[in-house]
């Protein structure tokens, strides 16, 4: 049941965005559609986390390279926006992806530099982008 989440993340990584979205839907709807015929026995909680992974690690491309948080976000064609918060090394960061671009906001913690498509972005409290 966890395969489609990983397939979605990898499809995003490889630039197969339509395929990534199809895998995301399969992951997100597993219990709703009872696609494995076993929802009567309980939910697939780990698969719910897989849905989060599809968005954060897949669509937003979040990775950690040599201690640096990096993102390569894109917006699925079916969406107008998405956002999420991530806690990293004592900091809370909000990432928002919209049609007009991506913003990063440091909600709490000390200044941090993240990578956006390989370009450094220094985040300070109350600063965006």
pLDDT at 84: 98
**pLDDT tens digit sequence for 29-70:** 776 666 666 666 666 667 788 899 999 999 999 999 999 999
Strand partners, 25: none
pLDDT digits (tens, 9 = 90+) for 74-126: 999 999 999 999 999 999 999 999 999 999 999 999 999 999 999 999 999 87
What confidence score (pLDDT) does residue 88 get? 97
Q: If DSSP states are collapsed to H, E and C, what string results for 15-53?
A: CCHHHHHHHHHHHHCHHHHCCCCCHHHCCCHHHHHHHHH
CA dist., res. 11 & res. 80, Å (int): 20
Residue 22 burial by Cβ neighbours in a 10 Å radius (0-12, 13-18, 19+): middle
The pLDDT confidence band at residue 15, using thresholds 50, 70 and 90, is very high
Nearest to 6 by CA among 36, 60, 51, 73: 51
- pTM here is 0.87
* DSSP class of 97: E
């Amino acid at each position: 049941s966890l395969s489609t989440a990983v397939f979605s993340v990898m499809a995003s990584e490889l630039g197969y965005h339509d395929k990534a979205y199809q895998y995301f839907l399969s992951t997100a709807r597993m219990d709703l559609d009872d696609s494995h015929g076993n929802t009567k026995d309980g939910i697939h909680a780990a698969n719910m986390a897989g849905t989060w992974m599809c968005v954060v690690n897949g669509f937003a491309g979040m990775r950690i390279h040599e201690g640096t948080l990096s993102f390569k976000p894109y917006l699925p064609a079916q969406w107008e926006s998405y956002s999420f918060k991530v806690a990293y090394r004592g900091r809370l960061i909000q990432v928002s992806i919209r049609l007009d671009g991506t913003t990063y906001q440091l909600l709490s913690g000390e200044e941090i530099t993240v990578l956006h498509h390989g370009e450094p972005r220094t985040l300070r409290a109350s600063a965006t982008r």
